[in-house]
Amino acid sequence: MFETLVEEKEKELIKNNLEDLRNNISDSDYQYKIDKYCEKFNFKKEEVIEQIKENDIVASFFMKDPLRQNFIEKMVAELLNTNTLPQAGKNSIRFNSKGELGHLKTPNTSKAADFYINNTYITQKYTRGFGGAQDNQYNDVVDFLLKGSQQYKVGVILDGSYWEEKRKELKDFFQDNENVSIYSMDDFLLKED
């Protein structure tokens, strides 16, 4: 259910981002990417620009990546009818090794909470695929839950193919910790039906 919403929104953003690239190809950010690409592969800039205008595959190399536009976190906030918490600075919410609330990122603090809902600090992850970068996200989630649950109610909302098996693994690991909740967005969406 949520996966379908993500896929629909991602397709919409791809279409919009392709259009933005083609309409604003002279913007400095796009020009920088094109220049670096041409320099690296020894292509003529005019030919690359022409391909961007005509070929979606080539254009996709230069457009904004929807997954880097934070659209999933915004969707989750909208679906849960809540606001996102700041991710950096003095207003972010992090936990130190003793489970105390902090705001600034230091070597021993957790990742920042994304939401505060029903007296619970929640972090949200959407991850596809498998590998080292995904495993780092898994470690961030475990760290957030271990540190935060020492003194507060904490939860995670985990979606995407990477979390299908990992969600059960985390539920088993934290089953005796009443301060930890582990969800998928479908858990919330199915409640509404």
Q: With contact defined as beta carbons under 8 Å apart, do 62 and 21 qualify?
A: yes
Same domain, yes or no: 107 and 171: yes
Residue at which a domain ends, from 12, 38, 68: 68
3-state SS, residue 115: strand
Give the pLDDT of residue 142: 97
Region of 178 (left: φ > 0; alpha: ψ -120 to 50; beta: rest) is alpha
Same domain, 155 and 88: yes
| 49 plus 87 within the same structural domain | no
Are residues 106 and 186 both part of a single domain? yes
DSSP state of 67: G
- The closest of 120, 139, 134 to 80, measured between CA atoms, is 120
Q: Is residue 112 located within the same domain as residue 131?
A: yes
115 & 63 share domain: no
**Are residues 87 and 27 both part of a single domain?**
no
Going by C-alpha positions, the residue among 16, 4, 133, 132 that lies closest to residue 65 is 16
Q: Does 121 share its domain with 182? A: yes
* Dist CA 32 CA 53 (whole Å): 17
Tell me: do 57 and 97 sit in the same domain: no
What's the predicted TM-score (pTM) here? 0.85
Domain boundary among 25, 52, 68: 68
Domain residue limits at 36: 2-68
pLDDT at 107: 87
| C-alpha distances out from residue 160 to 17, 19, 67, 117, 170, Å | 22, 27, 12, 22, 15
Do residues 167 and 109 share a domain?
A: yes
Domain count, the chain: 2
* Same domain? 79 vs 152: yes
pLDDT along the chain (193 residues), means of 10: 94 97 96 97 97 96 91 94 90 94 89 95 90 83 97 97 93 97 92 62
Per-residue pLDDT at 128: 87
pLDDT digits (tens, 9 = 90+) for 56-93: 999 999 999 998 888 999 999 999 999 999 988 888 99
List the one residue out of 61, 60, 71 whose CA is nearest residue 14: 60
| 116 and 145 co-located in one domain | yes
Last residue in a domain, options 37, 68, 99: 68
